[in-house]
Structure 1
Amino acid sequence: MLTRVLPKRTAVALSVAVIWALSLFAAQGYAQVTGATLSGTITDPSGAVIPNAQVSVRNTATGVTREVTADTAGFYSVPNLLPGNYEVTVMSPGFSTARQSNVELGVGAQQQLNISLKVGQTSQTVEVTEAAPQIQLTSSTLSAEVESTTVRELPLNGRDWASLATLSPGVNAIETQLPFEAGAVRGNRGFGAQLTIAGGRPTQNNYRLDGLSINDYGNGGPGSVLGVSLGVDAIQEFSVLTGNYSAEYGRTSGGVVNAISKSGTNAFHGDVYEFLRNDKLDANDFLSNANNVPRPPYKRNQFGAAAGGPIIKDRTFIFGDYEGIRQSKGVSNPQSVPSDRARTGLLNFPKGPSTFPTGCVTVDPTDCQVAVNPAVATYLAALYPHATAPGAGPNQGSFTFPALQAVREDFFTVRVDHKISDKDSIFATYMYDKNPFTQPDSLNNISYLDQTNRDIAALEWTHTFTPALLNTARVGYNRNAVINYQPVAAINPAAADPSFGAFPLGDNPSTRISGGFSALNAGLNGGFSHHNWNSIQFYDDAFLTRGTHSLKFGFAVERMDYNFFQKYNPQGIWRFASLANFLLNKPKSLEGGGLLGRDTPRGLRQTIFAGYVQDDWRWRRNLTLNVGLRYEIATVLKDAQGQITNLASMTSPLPYCGTTDPNLTLTFGQPGCTGTAPYYSNPTKHNFEPRIGFSWDPRGDGKMAVRGGFAIFDVLPLPGYFYTQQGIQTPFFLVGTIAKPTAGIGVLASAPNSAYNQMIQPQAGCTSPVGSCVLTAGFMEPNPKRNYVEQWNLNVQRQITPSLTATLGYVGSHGVHMLIRGDDADMVIPTQTSAGWLWPYNPTGADMRINRDFGTIRYMFFNTDSSYNALQVNVQKRMSHGFQFGGSYSYSKSIDNDDATIAGDAFGNSITSWFWFAPSISHAVSDFNVTHSVAINGLWDVPGPKSLHGPAGTLLNGWELGSILKLNNGIPTTPLIGGDPMNVENNGSDTFGIPDRVAGCDPVNHNYKSNPGLGYINTSCFRVPMATPAIASQCVPFSAVPGSCSNLLGNAGRNSIVGPGLVNLDFSVYKNFAVRKISESSSVQFRAEFFNILNHANFGPPLPFFGSSQAQIFNQDGTSSGAGGLQFMVTQPRDIQFALKFIW
Structure 2
Amino acid sequence: PDTFSQEAWFQTTSTIGGRITGFANRAIANTAIPAGLGDVRTRESIASVANQWMQSGQADNSAFAANFLRTIRQFPADQVAGLERKFFTNVSNANAPVLRLLTAADIHPVAVNVLNQQRDGRFLLPSASAGTNLLPGNGTFGREIEHIQSFPTFFNSWSGSGTLEHNFSSNDRLRLNYIKSQQFVEEAFGWANSSPSPTLGLTPGYVASLSHVHTFSPSLINDLRGGFFELYNTRISKFRDINNSTLGIFNPLEKAVGGLAALMPTIDIVTQRGGAGIGNAWDFFDRQRNAYMMDTITHIRGSHSLQFGAELRRTTLGGEYMARTNGDLDYQNWVLFFTGHGASGGGSDLDQGDTRRNYRTWDTSLFLQDDWKVTRNFTLNLGLRYDYFGWFRELNGRIGTYFNREAAARANVPEGYHIARNHLIFQPNFNPLAMGLYISPEVPLDLRMVHQAQRDTIFRPDRNNLAPRLGFAWQPGIVKRLVVRGGYGLYYERPSGAFKSDLQLSSPFFIYQNVPAPPDMADPYPRLNINPFTIPLNVRIQRDANGGAAWRRFDGSPFPLTEPFSAKNFTFIDPFIQTPYTQQWTLNIQYEPWAGNVFDIRYVGTRGVGLFAKINMAQPVDPRVTPVNGFTNIRTATGALLNPDFFVPSEYLGLGRANGFRLLSNWANSNYHGLQAMFRRRFQNNLLVNAAYTWAKTLDNISSNGGVVEHDARRIANNRGPADFDRTHRLTLAYIYQFPVLRSNRVLGAVAGGWSLNGMLTLQSGSPFSAVGGAAANAYWAQVGRTRVDFVANKTAADARKTGSVQSRIDQFFDPTVFMNSDDRWGNTGRNILRGPVQRQFDFALAKSIRFTEVVNCELRWELFNAFNQPTFSNPNATLPAAGFGTMGAITSTIGGPRTMQVAVRARF
Class of the TM-score when normalised by the shorter of the 2 chains:
0.5 to 0.7
Aligned partners of 1:332 and 1:403 also within 8 Å: no
Q: Counterparts of 2:827 and 2:387 in 1: how far apart (Å)?
A: 43
Q: Which runs of 5+ in 1 are unaligned?
A: 1-330, 335-368, 389-399, 491-495, 577-584, 834-838, 905-911, 1026-1044, 1103-1109
Shift of 1:942: 1.6
Q: Which amino acid aligns with 2:749?
A: G
Structure 1 residue aligned with 2:465: 687
Gap change, CA 1:487 and 1:763, over 3 Å in 2: farther
Aligned partners of 2:778 and 2:788 also within 8 Å: no
Structure 1 residue aligned with 2:203: 452
State percent identity of aligned pairs: 20
Q: Counterparts of 2:891 and 2:251 in 1: how far apart (Å)?
A: 34
Structure 2 residue aligned with 1:884: 688
Q: Which amino acid aligns with 1:994?
A: R
Q: Deviations over 1:517-547 (max 9, x none)?
A: 9997985143321111111122222322211
Structure 2 residue aligned with 1:868: 672
Shift of 1:898: 1.3
CA RMSD for the aligned pairs? 4.7
Gap change, CA 1:616 and 1:888, over 3 Å in 2: same
Alignment of 1:203-222 (within 5 A): none
Q: Counterparts of 2:226 and 2:237 in 1: how far apart (Å)?
A: 34
Aligned partners of 1:883 and 1:941 also within 8 Å: yes
Alignment partner for residue 623 of structure 1, among 363, 375, 378?
A: 378
Q: Which amino acid aligns with 1:428?
A: L
Q: Counterparts of 1:401 and 1:817 in 2: how far apart (Å)?
A: 50
Shift of 1:639: 1.3
Aligned partners of 2:495 and 2:579 also within 8 Å: no
Aligned partners of 1:333 and 1:1128 also within 8 Å: no
Q: Counterparts of 2:452 and 2:462 in 1: how far apart (Å)?
A: 25
Shift of 1:691: 0.6
Shift of 1:1141: 2.4
Q: Counterparts of 2:522 and 2:313 in 1: how far apart (Å)?
A: 49
Q: Counterparts of 2:899 and 2:732 in 1: how far apart (Å)?
A: 19
Q: Counterparts of 2:326 and 2:848 in 1: how far apart (Å)?
A: 56
Aligned partners of 2:847 and 2:861 also within 8 Å: yes
Structure 2 residue aligned with 1:718: 496
Give the secondary-structure state (helix, strand or coil) at the position aligned to 1:1049: coil
Larger radius of gyration: 2
What TM-score, normalized by structure 2, do the two folds share? Answer: 0.67
Q: Counterparts of 1:403 and 1:1059 in 2: how far apart (Å)?
A: 38
Aligned partners of 1:574 and 1:590 also within 8 Å: yes
Q: Which amino acid aligns with 2:380?
A: L
Matching of residue 788 in structure 1 with residue 581 in structure 2:
yes
Structure 2 residue aligned with 1:236: none
Q: Which amino acid aligns with 1:707?
A: R
Structure 1 residue aligned with 2:58: none
Q: Counterparts of 2:703 and 2:607 in 1: how far apart (Å)?
A: 14
Give the structure, 1 or 2, with the largest relative contact order (CA under 8 Å, sep 6 or more).
1
Q: Which amino acid aligns with 2:769?
A: T
Alignment partner for residue 463 of structure 1, among 214, 229, 243?
A: 214
Q: Counterparts of 1:693 and 1:831 in 2: how far apart (Å)?
A: 55
Matching of residue 921 in structure 1 with residue 718 in structure 2:
yes
Q: Counterparts of 2:295 and 2:399 in 1: how far apart (Å)?
A: 33
Shift of 1:868: 0.6
Aligned residues: 697
Q: Counterparts of 1:688 and 1:966 in 2: how far apart (Å)?
A: 39
Q: Counterparts of 2:248 and 2:807 in 1: how far apart (Å)?
A: 44
Structure 2 residue aligned with 1:933: 730
Structure 2 residue aligned with 1:413: 161
Q: Which amino acid aligns with 1:695?
A: A
Alignment of 1:809-888 (within 5 A): 809-821=602-614, 825-830=617-622, 841-843=634-636, 844-845=642-643, 847-850=646-649, 851-852=652-653, 854=655, 856-888=660-692
Alignment of 1:129-278 (within 5 A): none
Q: Deviations over 1:533-575 (max 9, x none)?
A: 1111222223222111121212222211111201112366799
Shift of 1:866: 1.1
Structure 2 residue aligned with 1:1001: 799
Matching of residue 991 in structure 1 with residue 753 in structure 2:
no
Q: Which amino acid aligns with 1:422?
A: S
Gap change, CA 1:810 and 1:831, over 3 Å in 2: farther
Q: Counterparts of 1:475 and 1:432 in 2: how far apart (Å)?
A: 17
Shift of 1:501: 11
Alignment partner for residue 1132 of structure 1, among 892, 897, 900?
A: 897
Structure 2 residue aligned with 1:1061: 838
Shift of 1:681: 4.5
Structure 2 residue aligned with 1:34: none
Q: Counterparts of 1:646 and 1:767 in 2: how far apart (Å)?
A: 25
Aligned partners of 1:817 and 1:862 also within 8 Å: yes
Shift of 1:642: 1.7
Alignment of 1:48-447 (within 5 A): 372-373=74-75, 405-437=153-185, 438=187, 440=189, 441-445=191-195, 447=197
Give the secondary-structure state (helix, strand or coil) at the position aligned to 2:726: coil
Shift of 1:928: 1.3
Shift of 1:1075: 1.3
Shift of 1:1004: 6.0
Q: Counterparts of 1:1002 and 1:511 in 2: how far apart (Å)?
A: 43
Matching of residue 560 in structure 1 with residue 315 in structure 2:
yes
Aligned partners of 1:565 and 1:602 also within 8 Å: yes
Shift of 1:903: 5.2
Q: Deviations over 1:225-283 (max 9, x none)?
A: xxxxxxxxxxxxxxxxxxxxxxxxxxxxxxxxxxxxxxxxxxxxxxxxxxxxxxxxxxx
Give the secondary-structure state (helix, strand or coil) at the position aligned to 1:917: helix
Q: Which amino acid aligns with 2:220?
A: L
Matching of residue 479 in structure 1 with residue 230 in structure 2:
yes
Alignment partner for residue 894 of structure 1, among 698, 702, 726?
A: 698
Structure 2 residue aligned with 1:225: none
Structure 1 residue aligned with 2:908: 1143
Q: Counterparts of 2:664 and 2:276 in 1: how far apart (Å)?
A: 27
Structure 2 residue aligned with 1:1097: 871
Shift of 1:842: 4.7
Q: Counterparts of 1:984 and 1:501 in 2: how far apart (Å)?
A: 38
Gap change, CA 1:1011 and 1:891, over 3 Å in 2: closer
Q: Counterparts of 1:1075 and 1:734 in 2: how far apart (Å)?
A: 64
Q: Deviations over 1:460-501 (max 9, x none)?
A: 2222222222222221222111113658699xxxxx999999
Q: Which amino acid aligns with 1:969?
A: S
Aligned partners of 1:503 and 1:748 also within 8 Å: no
Q: Counterparts of 2:368 and 2:878 in 1: how far apart (Å)?
A: 50
Q: Counterparts of 2:492 and 2:209 in 1: how far apart (Å)?
A: 26
Shift of 1:896: 0.8
Structure 2 residue aligned with 1:800: 593
Aligned partners of 2:539 and 2:554 also within 8 Å: no
Q: Counterparts of 1:914 and 1:980 in 2: how far apart (Å)?
A: 14
Q: Deviations over 1:762-783 (max 9, x none)?
A: 96429999x9986654322222
Shift of 1:924: 1.2
Give the secondary-structure state (helix, strand or coil) at the position aligned to 1:436: strand
Matching of residue 735 in structure 1 with residue 525 in structure 2:
no
Matching of residue 956 in structure 1 with residue 733 in structure 2:
no
Structure 1 residue aligned with 2:432: 666
Shift of 1:865: 2.1
Gap change, CA 1:640 and 1:1119, over 3 Å in 2: farther
Q: Counterparts of 1:1119 and 1:403 in 2: how far apart (Å)?
A: 44
Gap change, CA 1:469 and 1:594, over 3 Å in 2: same
Q: Counterparts of 2:812 and 2:330 in 1: how far apart (Å)?
A: 27
Aligned partners of 1:498 and 1:507 also within 8 Å: no
Shift of 1:619: 0.6
Structure 1 residue aligned with 2:392: 637
Q: Deviations over 1:683-719 (max 9, x none)?
A: 6311111111211111266511111122211233232
Q: Counterparts of 1:460 and 1:973 in 2: how far apart (Å)?
A: 49
Aligned partners of 1:1065 and 1:1094 also within 8 Å: yes
Q: Which amino acid aligns with 2:745?
A: L
Q: Counterparts of 2:728 and 2:611 in 1: how far apart (Å)?
A: 22
Gap change, CA 1:1143 and 1:616, over 3 Å in 2: same
Give the secondary-structure state (helix, strand or coil) at the position aligned to 1:729: coil
Structure 2 residue aligned with 1:655: 417
Alignment partner for residue 484 of structure 2, among 706, 709, 732?
A: 706
Shift of 1:934: 1.2
Gap change, CA 1:959 and 1:981, over 3 Å in 2: same
